[in-house]
Structure 1
């Protein structure tokens, strides 16, 4: 069942920008192999294959949704996604799901869920830590909260060279939020991936096709829509970026060829409502 999608005008300027970036990432699944690996990891951590009610937040292109549809049985499915472009595709994966298209931070996503899961999405929230308090109200007793986000080491090379990037709460802040909202059996773990690319320009292309365009990351910081000036690439800036990238973040790949690295560092959060 498809809920009426949130009107574009209902989204903040920041969320409109995020939705537009991911709508333009037409080859996302071909390049988002780290995200796919993280989804597989989340799937392995789900405690029960039979659920009463599953809420997925930030489904995107359905990488996690596809795994859930294959591996789980649930009496109720609610799938949330910001970008309306994904509506038909997500419905094709899980025809019985209620699709809630819009901003997960502000819309009603129901309660009494036995599993709330989110893969690679909540770092785009205005207030990621608030997702913990929202989840505590939406989970039933004994329900599982399972999510992946990223740490401050994510894309560390880009932040170092351009000053651009999202703000990621640290592990201590996540731990405190989970504890303050009564979760137990709390497990937090990180996974780091240093991905080789033939040259710095390939890093930028990779980020673009996975929806993370570095010319807008500063604009995407919460609360800065009117004050921030978008990062703009010039020929001189690109040349400096490539030169410094080789100087600071180069090495050899598995075949002994020169390369540069881009770091992903995922944070996996697994906790239960007592």
Structure 2
């Protein structure tokens, strides 16, 4: 995966992301609600992977108190979405190659880990950075995510299933306390609106070398009709979020 391209696509979408990220906003709320069932509200050191425009970060800061919050993303312009705060520290770059802050109480990520290429290596690196019984909580996506787009264009990520993710976490030394998945269906008036949504959120940031032509767009619009909901004039787009609340085994 070209991480420079991923960063570029998300940077291009940053001005429109907040308005268009309907599913991601719902996922952020769902993740914070699940965290509150297990993770104590007062922590010292937190790392968030892939903070983006701060959609999840704001939920985190609203519901949790902390001494230090380390924020990570691929490109430095994300900083403009955050107010000055002496508790916030930045780590810009690919989380797979960046050194992690140590003695962490909590590592969180919302709608970002699906971009990680070597997930096992990252989970092990996080495990080393966590305090004993520290928390790893995240929302990512599974195989049905944006399935309509992948069916028509062949473009999309390869996702782990929920059970595969649980197995991977357990093999890396975590106890999984919550494992859940959902299907969120967004509806649009026309297939072109589906494409506008995808561009505005950057979720197809891996589509390197893929270019639309007038004829391929028309074919896409026509073929997308097969997904039209029965008795509806709307066109669906599927999101398949998964939620994991895990704890480092003592």
TM over 0.5: yes
* Cα separation, 2, equivalents of 1:266 and 1:94: 31
Instruction: Measure, in 2, the Cα distance between the counterparts of 1:268 and 1:44.
Output: 11
| One of 48, 51, 58 as aligned partner of 2:40 | 48
Moved more, 179-188 or 78-87: 179-188
**Alignment partners' CA distance in 1, 2:156 and 2:119:** 15
Partner of 2:241: 266
Q: Which residue of 1 aligns with 2:25?
A: 36
Deviation, 1:93, is: 6.2
DSSP 3-state at the match of 2:183: strand
2:227 equivalent among 220, 227, 249: 249
After the TM superposition, which residues 194-213 of structure 1 pair with which residues of structure 2 at under 5 Å, given as runs? Answer: 194-213=185-204
Aligned ranges for residues 16-31 of structure 1 at < 5 Å?
16-25=4-13, 26-31=15-20
Match of 1:193 in 2: 184
1:226-241 pair list within 5 angstroms = 230-241=209-220
Structure 2 residue matching 1:145: 3-state secondary structure: strand
Distance in structure 1 (CA, Å) of the matches to 2:185 and 2:30: 18
CA offsets 1:194-236 (integer angstroms, 9 cap, x no match): 11100111000000000134xx6343xxxxxxxxxx1121111
Q: TM-score, normalised by structure 2?
A: 0.92
Q: Which residue of 2 aligns with 1:119?
A: 110
1:164 counterpart SS class: coil
Distance 1:76 1:217, change over 3 A: closer
- Give the conservation status (yes or no) of the 8 Å contact 1:129–1:174: no
Checking the alignment, whether the CA contact within 8 Å between 2:170 and 2:176 is kept in structure 1 is no
Structure 2 spans left out of the alignment, 5+ residues:
none
Flag structure 1 segments of 5+ consecutive residues without an equivalent: 1-12, 220-229
Whether contact under 8 Å (1:114, 1:140) holds in the other structure is yes
Q: Could you report, residue by residue, the CA deviation over 1:236-266 in whole angstroms, capped at 9, with x for unpaired residues?
A: 11111111111x20026xxx75011100000
Deviations 1:128-173 (A, max 9, x none): 3433222211111111110011001000000101111011122232
The one-character-per-residue Cα deviations of 1:88-139 (angstroms, maximum 9, x if unpaired) are 323x164421111111110012122111100001111222343322221111
1:216-235 alignment to 2 at 5 Å?
A: 217-219=206-208, 230-235=209-214
Distance 1:151 1:14, change over 3 A: same
Deviation at 1:45, TM superposition (A): 2.3
